[in-house]
Amino acid sequence: MVQLLDPTKPYELGDAIKIGRHILKSGALSMKYWCEDDITVSETTAGGYMLNMAGYSYFVKHYGKSFITWECEYRRKQGCSSVVIRSSDPTMNNYFRIYSMQGEHIHEPAPNNVELRRFKRRIRERCRQELSSPRTIYEDELKKGKYSSEMLAILPTFYNMQAQLYRIRKENLPSSPTDPNFILHPGFTATDRGDRFLLYDSNNVQAPYAAPSSRVGRLIIYASDLQLNILSKSKRVGSDGTFETAAQITHQNYIIMGEYEEKYSVPVAFCLCEHKNYETYQLIIQVLKAAVGTLKLDFQPMYWMSDYEAALTKAIKKELPRTKLLGCASHYNQAIYRNIQTKGLQDAYQNVEVVRQILRQIMALAFIPSDQIKKLYNDVIKPQLNNVPKRPVSLSYNLNSFLKYYESYWLTNIYKFCVFDQPTRTNNELEGYNNKMNVQLAAHPHLYRLITWFEKEELLVQQLEMKIISNVSVHKRKRALTTILIDESLQSLWASYKAGTLTPKRLLLESSKWVAKKA
């Protein structure tokens, strides 16, 4: 219904009129109307448009040739479908006009919802245009708004918006460098809180860190103070390199994992390495030691689990002489089984009981104290060769060939596979983390997309800490029942051995029952 605000005099062009609850004025040159209240047309997350006016919001219902029809946002939830607005094209700058309005709303206006959308829109637009961290932009907009307590109650938290904001930021990155000597963009040096995240850049070395040797090339390390704090408290550290998700100008991403409260495996350092050698690994450890030292903490883990890379092993022994090197029982078994296949023993492993027994006991040596491994190998395992069938002749030959390989490589590097009395016997957490990177990042991704991913991962570490401090339950992937059974059985066997109720030989025989038929 259209009403004159002043019914005592005839209507003249330019007089205010009332349509429903809205006060409109006519244009001086036409009968188009616009609202005295603030009118905004905002873009939706799906790329459409929303009209905000007088505390109400409207979605596009129909695009016509000469006008656009809008309807109330609550047309479905509350059945408010009677209000229809016709306007000009919202994409035409400086020429948005309301032509007509019909009907009345069946609900009160919600001006806070309009401001809520403006708040979210401003943050999204800034994330497209700026390289400040999404959290910094969010907090800045929150401060500038000076919102009432009522408004603060309905505003989304940063954690509600973070997935969308990081996605927007990834889509609006500077070009990826192609020269290893590039200058790192200053927008990618801080955490989402605005704290330091870039720990080391070999092209811009600052005290207390050492300059790289020529064999290191470009090395960039990211680790927040929170991550360094976790690293210093971690009894067990693990590390692994991944090549598929390395940026085009680097050779590998080297990830170091620590333990939060000895329960949760979390990334504590992200290293972008141009080369994969002893000097690079040594410098990484030196930087971490110096960084932890600046926090007046100590970096001296009891154990370091990794693959069997000689360069890393040498660096750990040099820089962390008191740290015990741990291999991965899973990698050990996989290596053993690969050589079972290459030595032509796969059929015998499956069908000849004594051969299967010998090979499974060799795999089970990983669960034996290091000072007992050679003795059990010579006194328990090798004598069983007398029971191996004489035919076919190739069986004894292949088995002896395998044992020569085992003695020359594994028995001279017992530290690479011995996991006796260790609660963590594999680096599956690290491999799972690398798989996560492979799934979430493209092969050889844009450098700044990769760094943004590191920022997101550091944010997840922050969230984990806050949940634990606040006594909020933390989701942890369920372990398979078989894994739990094997773990409990090995722990029981080790306890019996340490109590003196189980001999080394019995420990070997019982442990071999828990070795998978295939590693």
The pLDDT assigned to 43 comes to 73
What burial class does residue 412 get, using C-beta atoms within 10 Å of its C-beta: 0-12 exposed, 13-18 middle, 19+ buried?
Answer: exposed
Asked, for residue 475, whether it belongs to a domain, the answer is no
Which stretch of 83-87, 132-136, 174-178, 323-327 has the lowest confidence by average pLDDT? 83-87
User: What are the CA-CA distances from residue 500 to residues 45, 165, 256 (Å)?
Assistant: 67, 59, 37
CB atoms within 10 A of CB 281: 27
Which stretch of 86-100, 192-206, 211-225 has the lowest confidence by average pLDDT? 86-100
The pLDDT assigned to 354 comes to 94
Asked, for residue 467, whether it belongs to a domain, the answer is no
Closest CA relative to residue 40, chosen from 105, 113, 104: 113
Asked, for residue 179, whether it belongs to a domain, the answer is no
Mean pLDDT of the chain: 85
Cis peptide, bond prior to residue 392, ω within 30 of zero: yes
Token code pair at residue 219: 């090395």
Asked, for residue 466, whether it belongs to a domain, the answer is no
Task: Give the distance, in angstroms, between the CA of residue 291 and the centroid of all CA atoms in the same chain.
Answer: 23
- What's the CA gap between 519 and 508, in Å, rounded? 17
Q: What φ, ψ does residue 215 adopt, rounded to 5°?
A: -80, -10
Q: Are residues 291 and 231 in the same domain?
A: yes
Interval 408-450: pLDDT, tens: 999 998 988 999 998 888 877 888 888 888 888 878 888 988 9
Interval 445-486: pLDDT, tens: 889 889 989 999 999 999 999 999 988 888 777 777 888 888
Tell me what the mean pLDDT of segment 134-142 comes to.
Answer: 88
Asked, for residue 392, whether it belongs to a domain, the answer is yes
Q: Are residues 125 and 156 in the same domain?
A: yes
Closest CA relative to residue 80, chosen from 44, 104, 111, 51: 104
Last residue of a domain, one of 54, 89, 108: 108
pLDDT at 35 over 50: no
Q: What angle do CA 211, 215, 219 make, to 5 degrees?
A: 55
CA-CA-CA-CA dihedral for 281, 286, 288, 292, to nearest 10? 160
pTM, two decimal places: 0.69
Q: Are residues 356 and 490 in the same domain?
A: yes
Q: Are residues 14 and 97 in the same domain?
A: yes
The pLDDT assigned to 37 comes to 47
pLDDT at 16 over 70: no
- What's the CA gap between 176 and 446, in Å, rounded? 6
Query: 101: domain range?
Result: 2-108
The pLDDT assigned to 36 comes to 43
pLDDT at 205 over 80: yes
Q: Are residues 206 and 290 in the same domain?
A: yes
Q: Are residues 121 and 223 in the same domain?
A: no
SS3 326: strand
The pLDDT assigned to 508 comes to 96
Write down the H helix ranges in 253-412: 278-294, 310-319, 329-342, 346-351, 353-364, 370-376, 393-409
377 CB-near residues (< 8 Å, 6+ apart): 362, 365, 411
The pLDDT assigned to 248 comes to 82
Q: Are residues 124 and 235 in the same domain?
A: no
Interval 244-261: pLDDT, tens: 999 988 889 999 999 998
**Long-range contacts formed by 387-391: CB under 8 A, 24+ apart:** 387/354, 388/352, 388/354, 388/355, 388/358, 389/352, 389/354
The pLDDT assigned to 81 comes to 63
Q: Are residues 68 and 84 in the same domain?
A: yes
CA torsion sign, 252 to 257 to 305 to 488?
Answer: negative
Asked, for residue 469, whether it belongs to a domain, the answer is no
Closest CA relative to residue 178, chosen from 221, 218, 133, 128: 218
- What's the CA gap between 448 and 198, in Å, rounded? 13
Token code pair at residue 23: 């006060």
pLDDT at 371 over 90: yes
The model's confidence at residue 302, banded by pLDDT at 50, 70 and 90, is: very high
The model's confidence at residue 308, banded by pLDDT at 50, 70 and 90, is: confident
Token code pair at residue 242: 């991944």
Higher-scoring residue by pLDDT: 28, 333: 333
Last residue of a domain, one of 92, 108, 124: 108
DSSP state of 194: S
Q: How many domains does the chain have?
A: 4
Tell me what the mean pLDDT of segment 66-91 comes to.
Answer: 74
pLDDT at 226 over 70: yes
Asked, for residue 277, whether it belongs to a domain, the answer is yes
Higher-scoring residue by pLDDT: 18, 201: 201
Q: Are residues 313 and 433 in the same domain?
A: yes
Q: Are residues 200 and 290 in the same domain?
A: yes
Q: Are residues 256 and 276 in the same domain?
A: yes
Q: Are residues 206 and 137 in the same domain?
A: no
* Percent above pLDDT 70 for the chain: 89
pLDDT at 4 over 60: no
CA-CA-CA-CA dihedral for 331, 334, 339, 341, to nearest 10? -170
The model's confidence at residue 232, banded by pLDDT at 50, 70 and 90, is: very high
The pLDDT assigned to 458 comes to 95
- What's the CA gap between 122 and 115, in Å, rounded? 10
Higher-scoring residue by pLDDT: 392, 477: 392
Q: What is the CATH number of the domain that holds 38?
A: 2.20.25
Asked, for residue 180, whether it belongs to a domain, the answer is no
The pLDDT assigned to 30 comes to 35
